[in-house]
Homo-oligomer: A and B are copies of this chain.
Amino acid sequence: MIQHLVVVKPRHPEGSAEESEFLKGCGLLATIPGVQNFELLRQVHPDTEYRLAFSMQFADQAAYDAYKVHPDHLAFVENVWKPAVEAGMDLDLVRLAPRGSYDQ
């Protein structure tokens, strides 16, 4: 399982119509095959400029690779992401096997 978390510094202020449209556009990613447990998130820690995030999970690398080249994802990047995002960062998180004291 791979968690794909994207953190975003949006161009538009919190609560704006543009932010709402951006979130709506992000939400469409949830319909792409292979995307599991899609979530829209607000990033509230003050020490980073990223203010929004979205998260999804893929069962394996093949599902993730198929998502990357899916036409709906490519359209998202052009039509939703580029107009709305000043800066973003991708994080791909895989769980480490538990061991030692944190093995619960």
Contact = CB atoms under 8 A, between A and B. Distances in A.
Interface residues of A, number: 39
A98 interface: yes
A53 B94 CA distance: 9
A90 B45 contact: yes
Nearest to A48: B89
Q: How many copies does the complex hold?
A: 2
A48 B91 contact: yes
B44 A96 contact: no
A43 to B, nearest CB: 6
Contact of A27 (B28, B90, B101): B101
A40 B53 CA distance: 20
A100 B80 CA distance: 15
